[in-house]
Amino acid sequence: MTVTRREVALVTGASSGIGVELARQLAAAGHDLALAARRTALMEQLADELRRNHSVRVDIFQSDLGRAGAGADLHRRIADAGLQVSYLVNNAGATLEGRYLDFTAEEQISIINLLAVNPAELMHLCLPGMLEAGRGTMLTISSLGAYWPCFPGITVYAGAKALVVNLTRTLDAEYGAHGVTFSATVPFTTDTAFLDTPTNRQIVGRMPNSMIQSPQRVASIAIDGAAHGRLVQHTSPLNRVLAGLLTVMPPKLVGRAILAFMSMGRDDLNQHKNIPS
Ligand SMILES: NC(=O)c1ccc[n+]([C@@H]2O[C@H](COP(=O)([O-])OP(=O)(O)OC[C@H]3O[C@@H](n4cnc5c(N)ncnc54)[C@H](OP(=O)(O)O)[C@@H]3O)[C@@H](O)[C@H]2O)c1
């Protein structure tokens, strides 16, 4: 017997920043929602707002997507609630600032789980239902980090973000002709809690305010990019130019330049207890 489940848009990282705005705009477009992140109180507040303003169903799933297997666990709980993901938004993200050995292997792997492994797992688990229905959307929020040849100081972030852009392109090649849309958005610097780290504060401090984008705008560009089937959606023309330039830059030069920039005023990046003398 075929079980008919209610279709939802799953937004990960829906407790803050771009994820909140993605949830708001998808609800305004009439999608029922599944929200996932660790901070349930913030998601409860958002869910109340969305139910009140848009009369949609909103379910909340507390999930630490830094854990191995969290994608599969989340997918199972969503199915147990009688829901089926027809619009997947892999948005949750965070960085660890410092060199590789400043954090435990477990901490570094948790970032790879969060940014790459669990998004890939969710895509694998949600795709069959979308293919069966002959429609669906997979939207991933990546980063300009995906285009840097290396990124000392945030170590695994850039490579993990590159994986999801590449996976988006690859899945489009493999399954795009079967009704499922794959789209990765590459935000420019966006005014969210994500910027509240020593390095990001340094970068933002050197930028004119007019260059910093709002999470509302980024969410709207991302949803529009997916609606128009854009494989990779940059949120500003400058982003697109930088992405092109970065891919042809020599990694050694880029690595040295980033370290020099990030070390300005930051003793912690110059004096590493974990570098053997
Ligand atoms: N802001 C920017 O300038 C910028 C630029 C390029 C790319 N991005 C990307 O945009 C996405 C959204 O970030 P944002 O700017 O909106 O930052 P944000 O306001 O800090 O939001 C990050 C979201 O990710 C969730 N998250 C973090 N760690 C998690 C974990 N272990 N398990 C589950 N959820 C987790 C957080 O929820 P909980 O803490 O409640 O778990 C929060 O909802 C990220 O993928 C980020 O890499 C941002």
Per residue in 217-231, pLDDT tens? 999 999 999 999 999
Indicate if 147 belongs to the active site.
no
The domain locations on the chain are: 6-269
Is the minimum distance from the CB of 17 to ligand 1 under 6 angstroms?
yes
Nearest atom within ligand 1 for CA of residue 187: 6
In this structure, the residue with its CA closest to atom 36 of ligand 1 is 13
Tokens of 136: 């669906």
Name the active-site residue from 87, 147, 157, 175: 157
* 6-269: in CATH 3.60.60.10: no
pLDDT band (50, 70, 90) for residue 256: very high
- pLDDT greater than 70 at residue 56: yes
Residues in a beta bridge with 232: 184
Return d(Cα 85, Cα 11) in angstroms, integer.
10
276 C-alpha to ligand 1 centroid (Å): 33
For 143-182, the pLDDT digits (tens) are: 999 999 999 999 999 999 999 999 999 999 999 999 999 9
Q: Calculate how far, in angstroms, residue 91's C-alpha sits from the geometric centre of ligand 1.
A: 7
- Token pair 């799933």: residue: 61
The whole-angstrom separation of Cα 44 and Cα 23 is 13
205 band by pLDDT with thresholds 50, 70 and 90: confident
Question: Based on C-alpha coordinates, what's the Rg of the chain?
Answer: 19
Q: Is 37 in the pocket of ligand 1 (CB under 6 A)?
A: yes
Secondary structure of the chain in HEC code, one letter for each residue: CCCCCEEEEEEECCCCHHHHHHHHHHHHCCCCEEEEECCHHHHHHHHHHHHHHHCCCEEEEECCCCCCCHHHHHHHHHHHCCEEEEEEEECCCCCCCCCHHHCCHHHHHHHHHHHHHHHHHHHHHHHHHHHHHCCEEEEEECCHHHHCCCCCCCCHHHHHHHHHHHHHHHHHHHHHHHCEEEEEEECCCECCHHHCCHHHHHHHHCCCHHHCECHHHHHHHHHHHHHCCCCEEECCHHHHHHHHHHHCCCHHHHHHHHHHHHHCCCHHHCCCCCCCC
In this prediction, residue 197 carries a pLDDT of: 87
The answer, yes or no, to whether any atom of ligand 1 lies below 6 A from the CB of 168, is no
Q: Is the CB of 119 under 6 A from ligand 1?
A: no
CA distance 191 to 37: 19
Tokens 């705008």 — which residue?
217
pLDDT at 268: 58
- Give residue 204's pLDDT band: very low, low, confident or very high (50, 70, 90): confident
Ligand 1 contact, 103 CB (< 6 A): no
What backbone torsions phi and psi does residue 102 show, to the nearest 5 degrees? -75, -15
Residue 66 CA, closest ligand 1 atom number = 31
Which residue from 121, 192, 238, 242 has its CB within 8 A of the most atoms of ligand 1, so it is best to mutate?
Answer: 192
Decide: 95 in ligand 1 pocket, CB within 6 A.
no
For the chain, what is the mean pLDDT?
A: 93
- Decide if 183 contacts 89 (C-beta within 8 A): no
